[in-house]
Structure 1
Amino acid sequence: MKFHDISRPYIGLGAIGLSFALSVAAPACLAADLPDITLFGRVQLDSVFYGDWANEGDDGLTVRRARIGAKGALSDRLSFQVDLDVSGSAAPKLEDTFLRYQASDHTALTLGYNKIYHSLDAATSDADVPFMERSMVSSAFEVGAGGKWGVSALTSGKNWSLQYGVTLTDPNDTVGSKDGWGVGMRATYTPVLTPDHILHLGVSTYYRDESDNLVGFSEQPEVRKNGFKPFDSGIQVADHYRYMAVEAATEWKRLSVQAEYGGMRLAAPSAGPASYAGAYVAATYSLTGEQRPYDAGRGKFGHLQPLRSLGDGGPGAVELAARYSWLDLEDAEVGTRGHDITVGVNWYANTQVRLMANMVHFQSENMVDHSVSDGWVYGLRAQAKW
């Protein structure tokens, strides 16, 4: 199969779409007195230090994310968003860029580059997750559910949500062979929803068929800078693959706990089916008394709001976080499996600025030769969002 780069044409289409949306939205906003176009973005600057000798040469500073976007209304029910990741030296990468139609008070349809979430971790913005990186299980198994061209629907009530849709190709795929198709769904329910206490339950699943019938799963430790991936299944031949996960979270004032488990199944008739799995449990505690905001209509957590921001004469917010992650990417004695332990502390100066420090111990075993890779990774992050 001939490989080709399809990212630039789609990004160009995104830019054209933005120009068109701006040209249409501006007069519409003036005529109908609709909200103005809003610019948004985030920058995450990381310093990473590897405690193991094999990677210590990669210590240093990196721009983990730099994103800029615009959103606005085209009519009472139709809105748009354009979001670009400009952190790399190559062409910008497309992020959440779509048209959204509010069909009713409880249902919205989204067309474009969007995400059908496969976990609570994935549904929560990377600017709001209390760790420098999402859990290994969420990141490793995102391959079939992450951002792609497609259409999705979100239906929600006071204490539940249901998202489902169809995905096609990823415009950021530089290989050019992942032009398959898939379907996905995530449902959440919050049986306990009070100002001080929540109980969140969820289930998600997706099915994916890639055009080249090749798929692989790999992951870095939960602080990252280089391409070091001690967790790796290797490339597998698969007619299709499917994923299912369950999630739960609870919050009692300043304490929150969440956990997820996910399993992957590959259909490979020539070699037989293969299975992989992963899980994590995480907890956070606010030393300054804040509670993580929770959106039951979307089944996700939001950005922690300091009770007294630094600019208002307060100390900001201080949050402690800990997580244990387990990932099994071994099948038929091929691949690796292991775990991460992450501890961290976050300081929120205000709603826009956050400083983070994470310490990760990882350990993985290669099931072919039973060699073990383990070590420490330390990370610092300065984050600004608007």
Structure 2
Amino acid sequence: MLLSATSPAFAADGVPTPPTAGVNWDKGTPEFVSADGQFSFRLKGRMMLDAATTSGSSYPLRNRSGDELRTLRLGFDGMVGDHLYYTFETDFAGDKPAVKGAYIAWRTPHSELTVGNRLSERGVEGSSSSDGTPFMERNAVASATAPLKGFYGLGVIGKVYGRDWHIAAQVAGDDPGNRGVARDTVTYMVRGHWNPIKTRQAAVHLGAWGFYENYPSDLASLSRTTTWAGHVNDRLQVPLGALRDPVDGIGYGLELGGVAGPRWSFLEVGRREIETRTEHVEVEALSVSAGWMITGETPSYSPRGGTLTKVAPKSPLSKGGLGALEIAVRYQLLDNTDAATGGKGQEASVGLNWRLEEWMRLMVNLSHWEVDHKVGRYAGNDTGESLAGRVLVSF
């Protein structure tokens, strides 16, 4: 069935689903529910273990292999009554723990109000959890046009849902888990999507988003370096360079795509404009992707919020099946050259996803990339190939 919900408190039709008293193992970990069904508590977690190798670069230092524990999250979530949802997650993969999702939300079938630190809505992949996106890294539109605060933000989000549309608005400060970002930024964001066609087997997606960000007066400079062809190789990046004395910025983008049976495709474009006391800088990004669920599952698209979610295999390994197999292709372009020392990159990728269970996925990405730096150790044009793999466990 095409319809699915991003909220654990709702069934596919958006109607609240009351918990069943006792212990429920449907989500991979025990969910404890009180005898009256008015309180639930569940442990949750996510692990991403990555490995990658790069070859073909004109710079020997870029031709390297490595691995990393990209994400190691532990937390909990649950419900109080029929409408109040709570969650808390901490990521232990970095040098020190970082708070990620930490909020409470009041949810009804047609609205939602959230207070706390939550993933912001910006584009299809930028609004989706990393356990639902088809490639190991979110696309360049999500990564390069994000506001200074990052993907998350501490603040208030309001959402309204219709039969085939939704609108989300957010006012957010800094993400407590985004280390190294200047404090006291404020971002105002809005995103909406519409499904002009929506059936049990197909949907067309149209979406748009925008934000305004106000930087603190004592922010001396800002910069962003976007990883390219995977996250493991920190010598393969598309730089923006340091922008001195930033004042404020805006970002906006469009989304077009949809699903039909086991196939899906999306086009995303985005732009971020940064105003400094002496210049105006624009960052432009584009991503085109498509995929096919080889084993016939419905693609991981939720029309309720226009996001990507987990795929449940028709025949998981635990029941003697093959699991869910998906092949995906993507082309993306990032242009930071409007900045004095900004770079440019393009990448064509093929990805293979094997979802053994709903909570476990193996991923392989093969990319042919090209980057162009104006300055620095890797100045000039360079091309090569990168092969990356991931073990993802999310429950």
TM range (shorter): 0.7 to 0.9
For the residues of structure 1 that align with 2:307 and 2:277, how far apart are their CA atoms? 38
For structure 1, which segment, 33-42 or 120-129, has the greater mean C-alpha deviation from structure 2 after superposition? 33-42
Q: Which runs of 5+ in 2 are unaligned?
A: 1-32
For the residues of structure 2 that align with 1:178 and 1:135, how far apart are their CA atoms? 26
For the residues of structure 1 that align with 2:42 and 2:113, how far apart are their CA atoms? 21
For the residues of structure 1 that align with 2:339 and 2:89, how far apart are their CA atoms? 41
Q: Is the 8 A contact 1:135 1:222 kept in 2?
A: no
- Over 3 Å counting, the alpha-carbon distance change for 1:71 and 1:331 in structure 2 is same
Q: Is the 8 A contact 2:147 2:251 kept in 1?
A: no
Letter in 2 for 1:356: M
Q: Residue by residue, what CA displacement relative to the aligned partner does 1:21-69 show, whole Å, maximum 9, x if unpaired? A: xxxxxxxx74853242011111111111121432334x23211111111
- TM-score of the superposed pair, with normalisation by structure 2: 0.85
Hey, what does 1:183 align to over in structure 2? 188
* SS of corresponding position for 1:374: strand
* SS of corresponding position for 2:242: strand
Q: Residue by residue, what CA displacement relative to the aligned partner does 1:315-374 show, whole Å, maximum 9, x if unpaired? A: 112111110000001116531112011111111112122111111121111246971132
Q: Count the aligned residue pairs.
A: 355
For the residues of structure 1 that align with 2:34 and 2:261, how far apart are their CA atoms? 43
- Over 3 Å counting, the alpha-carbon distance change for 1:217 and 1:61 in structure 2 is closer
Moved over 4 A (4+): 29-32
Q: Is the 8 A contact 1:217 1:329 kept in 2?
A: no
Hey, what does 1:11 align to over in structure 2? none
Match for residue 372 of structure 2 among 337, 353, 365: 365
Residue 205 (str. 1) matches residue 214 (str. 2): no
Percentage of pairs with the same residue: 24
For the residues of structure 1 that align with 2:221 and 2:166, how far apart are their CA atoms? 33
For the residues of structure 2 that align with 1:63 and 1:43, how far apart are their CA atoms? 8
- Over 3 Å counting, the alpha-carbon distance change for 1:213 and 1:77 in structure 2 is farther
- Over 3 Å counting, the alpha-carbon distance change for 1:196 and 1:105 in structure 2 is closer
Q: Which runs of 5+ in 1 are unaligned?
A: 1-28
Residue 151 (str. 1) matches residue 160 (str. 2): no
Q: Is the 8 A contact 2:224 2:241 kept in 1?
A: yes
Hey, what does 1:66 align to over in structure 2? 72
Residue 140 (str. 1) matches residue 140 (str. 2): no
Residue 288 (str. 1) matches residue 295 (str. 2): yes
Residue 49 (str. 1) matches residue 58 (str. 2): no
Hey, what does 2:109 align to over in structure 1? 105
Which is helix-richer, 1 or 2? 1
Q: CA deviation at 1:140?
A: 1.6
1:181-330 → structure 2 map (5 Å cutoff): 181-211=186-216, 212=219, 214-237=221-244, 238-270=246-278, 272-330=279-337
Hey, what does 1:131 align to over in structure 2? 135
Letter in 2 for 1:262: G
Q: Residue by residue, what CA displacement relative to the aligned partner does 1:101-150 show, whole Å, maximum 9, x if unpaired? A: 23x43111111111321110012211111111111221122244521211
* SS of corresponding position for 1:139: helix
- TM-score of the superposed pair, with normalisation by structure 1: 0.87
For the residues of structure 2 that align with 1:115 and 1:312, how far apart are their CA atoms? 34
Letter in 1 for 2:85: S
- Over 3 Å counting, the alpha-carbon distance change for 1:366 and 1:91 in structure 2 is closer
Q: Is the 8 A contact 2:312 2:358 kept in 1?
A: yes
For the residues of structure 1 that align with 2:321 and 2:177, how far apart are their CA atoms? 42
- Over 3 Å counting, the alpha-carbon distance change for 1:368 and 1:45 in structure 2 is closer
Letter in 1 for 2:175: D
